[in-house]
Amino acid sequence: MSLILSNGTIYQAHQIIQDGHIWLENGRIKAISAEPFQQISPDTRVIDVKGKIISPGFIDLHIYGGGGVSVLDADSASVETVLHTHAQYGTTGMLVSTVTAEIPLLHRALWAVNEAAQKSPAQTKGAKVLGVHLESCFLAPERRGAHKLEWLQTPSVELFQPLQDSSGGRIKLMTIAPELPGAAELIEYAWLQGVVASFGHSAADYDTATYWIRKGMHICTHLFNAMNGFSHRAPGGAGAFLTEQSAMVQIIPDGVHVHPAGLELAYQAKGPNKICLVTDALLPAGTGIKAFYFFDRLVNVTDRACFLPDGTLAGSRLTMNRAVQLFVEYTSATLQEALHMASLNPAKAIGLDQQKGSLEVGKDADVLVLDQDLNVQLALVEGTVVAGSL
């Protein structure tokens, strides 16, 4: 398909083009211009988007469910529903995430993800599976959050590699508490496999976290949550990731997981190039569901977040367009910067920024047309329409 989106506000990482034009062909971005294209083949379709926002597709590194289903339903149809649901809100690529569960269930869930990932966006009408985020098992008991204590495991290559095999080699990101026995060996092994190890659900102190950042652990899972918080005498893992310039952070900008002042603090400390917005979304995302069962525990759902009966946070119901909107509302970041945090930064975090994450000639045609409230009018994944219509 050859398609030109004309007269839109094109948000690139380095500039904003008013009344710009972007040409998509054969699944890639062919050209971007401030002026209308002069030589167009007869089979090229031109759509006037009438001043709407043209943005890179969003990439979510942390997502468990949506549309009323969960990845841990462990069937490919549920995974496809998650992909389709979040595409309606601008997510064109995602790391499908797993929570801690019994090992046989994790294997079944990873098989299902691998099966769904082999389908094209045209078949699923959804986001592309960019890999798996394994947020399972290798967590500090005292920082486990909503993860069940009895299902936590000692980190080991012997446990990890069969999970990687079940995923078809798709585990790209692994949340792990580096202070646990066996963690150092597993992290080193994962790095050799091309897996990004993410600091998270950790009770490590500032010095330990800093050591691992400088060793190469360049990202953390949901900053401030499930880690030692910042104190002026004990900066903790949060302090390490806020102050180490090379480190990136995931952050959930729902205003519940992190207070708006905490979001602004992160923005001031890390700037627009080191923050990855994530949803941490569970099955209520994209639905009106008010309560559901997380294994055997009832979870209550507010307009933004999910809670266990004891008040423990258990994920969110965010979608990525709303995450961008809230980050702009709560902080001094610009829309251009927030879009950057939802697209190019996540792509960089998992080594896909040469193909995805920004509107540049030659990159994949993962493109959104958004109205001024960031509602998705059109979403394309590698040139295939997955939300809205032409």
How far is residue 223's CA from residue 201's CA, in Å, rounded to a whole number?
10
- Phi/psi region, residue 131 (left: phi>0; alpha: psi -120 to 50; beta: rest), is left
The Cα–Cα gap between 250 and 245 comes to: 15
**CA Rg value for the chain:** 20
Catalytic residues: 280
Place of tokens 């998270």: 200
Strand duo 28-33 + 16-25: pairing: antiparallel
Position 43: which residue type?
D
Q: Crossing angle, helix 183-192 and helix 157-166, to 10 degrees?
A: 40
β-strand 313-316 against 367-370: which pairing, if any? unpaired
- Give the model's pLDDT for residue 225: 96
Which region holds residue 97: left if phi is over 0, alpha if psi is between -120 and 50, else beta? Answer: beta
CA 187 vs CA 89, 102, 184, 226, 250: distances in Å: 34, 22, 5, 19, 19
Reported confidence tier of residue 39, pLDDT bands at 50, 70, 90: confident
Kindly report the three-state secondary structure assignment for every residue of 360-390.
CCCCECCEEEECCCCCEEEEEECCEEEEECC
Half-sphere exposure of 282 (CA within 13 A, CB side): 25
The pLDDT value given to residue 244:
98
In angstroms, rounded to a whole number, what is the distance separating the alpha carbons of residues 362 and 27?
A: 10
Q: Does the structure show a pLDDT above 90 at 304?
A: no
The sign of the torsion formed by the CA atoms of 264, 266, 270, 275 equals negative
Task: Could you list the beta-strand ranges (E) of 295-383.
Answer: 297-301, 305-307, 313-316, 367-370, 376-381
| pLDDT per position as a tens digit, 220-237 | 999 999 999 899 999 999
Model confidence at 41, in pLDDT bands (50, 70, 90)? confident
Model pLDDT for residues 270-283, shown as the tens digit of each residue: 999 999 999 999 99
Mean pLDDT on 61-77 = 97
Cβ–Cβ < 8 Å for 375, 110: no
| Coil vs helix vs strand at 88 | coil
Q: Could you tell me the strand order of the sheet in which 58-63 lies?
A: 58-63, 91-98, 128-134, 171-176, 196-199, 219-220, 248-251, 275-277
CA distance 38 to 40: 6
pLDDT by residue (tens digit) across 97-144?
A: 999 999 999 999 999 999 999 999 999 999 999 999 999 899 999 999
| Range list of β-strands (E), 152-217 | 171-176, 196-199
φ and ψ at residue 320, rounded to 5 degrees: -70, -35
Q: Where residue 252 falls among pLDDT bands split at 50, 70, 90?
A: very high
Q: How far apart are CA 386 and CA 380, in angstroms?
A: 6
Specify whether the CB–CB gap between 124 and 379 falls below 8 A: no
- At 200, give phi and psi (nearest 5°): -175, 160
Q: What is the pLDDT of residues 318-329, one digit of tens each?
A: 999 999 999 999
Size (the chain), residues: 390
* Residues in a beta bridge with 54: 10, 369
User: CA angle, corner 102, sides to 168 and 291, nearest 5?
Assistant: 105
The band of 259, judged by pLDDT with boundaries at 50, 70 and 90, is: very high
